[in-house]
Amino acid sequence: MKKLFALAAIAAAAVAAHAQDFPGSKPVTIVVPFAAGGPTDRVARDLAEALRKPLGGNTVIIDNVPGAGSSIGAAKVARAAPDGYTLLLNHIAMATVPSLVRNVPFKVETDFEYLGIVNDVPMTLISKPSIPASNYKELSTWIAANKGKINIGNAGVGSASHLCGLLYQSATKTEMTPVPYKGTAPAITDLIGGQIDLLCDQTTNTTPQIQAGKVKAFAVTTSKRLALPMLKDLPTLDEAGLKNFQVTIWHGLYAPKGTPAPVLKKLNDALKVALKDPDFIHREELLGAVVATDGRIEPAGHKKFVIDEIAKWTPVIKAAGVYAD
């Protein structure tokens, strides 16, 4: 028994020493479960730069591990050493993977430590240029008159545009033919060319096309109109008549389960500093993203939010019967 107590004391002392030294001079790695160059990768790289100073000037490395609706990269972090040096930046997929991926190799609710929400990226409902509608009411009339003939593009199963499209069809009780692409760029190209009818995607992808007049924009999916100058005149879907429709692509930061509490506090403190960094805020605004400032920047608020999002998305995805694996 004395030996057990001694071993426990040694282990506790080691954890305390590690927590006190963290982050030391060792690089911190943020795993991004999507390909380089995409919206989530851009957020991660901006965040990495903003985290360097509050983490003592340490290097923050981005490791892109795409595949299976983000579950491959997330699983890598769930299996990583719980020492604070391997983190995960993931978006809304943390709430949709439990339904989109069969036999997902981790539990979102229990296999991660929650560090805080980073930002929210609004979505926009857009159409090909030739649709005979100039506002959402006219678009709704066109949709009602063309039931069974409408298609809606997306950037692949589990993508932000796919999820928004599913929720939109559920909310409007309208079935549309999904047209999946290998990424957002080809989907928008075909929307501009008139090969697909509708697309619901992130402002990070749609704003340049809206500004250029290459697509028609009808509404944003946030609870309030956006402050962004180029989109401030777009109504919310709720305001336009589709009540209680809200969806944003949020990003959150996670650590492996079992990371020591003092290390988690240092990481959360660093994240809060990064979220107030003027350069980071400006970079996110250029992406059309809104940096988080509410209770979700706290670990408990972050976790509650994700659990609520899982409850929101599970029935929508199960009803669609689609999978990312």
What's the pLDDT at 185? 86
Q: What are the C-alpha distances in Å from 239 to residues 167, 199, 218, 244, 299?
A: 17, 19, 11, 9, 32
pLDDT at 285: 86
- Taking CA 105 as the corner, what is the angle to CA 87 and CA 102, rounded to the nearest 5 degrees? 125
Give residues with Cβ within 8 angstroms of 37, minimum separation 6: none
pLDDT, position 324: 77
For the chain of 325 residues, list the mean pLDDT of each consecutive stretch of 10. 49 52 93 88 96 95 92 97 98 93 93 97 96 96 95 89 92 94 90 98 90 96 86 93 90 98 98 98 87 97 97 90 78
| Predicted pLDDT of residue 11 | 42
Helix (H) or strand (E) holding 261: helix 261-275
Give the start-end residues of each E strand in 143-213. Answer: 151-154, 177-180, 198-202
Rounded Cα gap, residues 125 and 160, in angstroms: 12
Alpha carbon distance 242, 309 (integer Å): 20
Give pLDDT, residue 83.
97
Could you give the count of Cα atoms lying within 13 Å of 109 in the half-sphere of its Cβ?
A: 7
**Comparing C-alpha atoms, which of 90, 153, 5, 52 is closest to residue 309?**
90
pLDDT at 2: 57
What's the pLDDT score for residue 3?
57
Pick from 188, 222, 236: nearest CA to 208? 188
The pLDDT assigned to 322 comes to 78
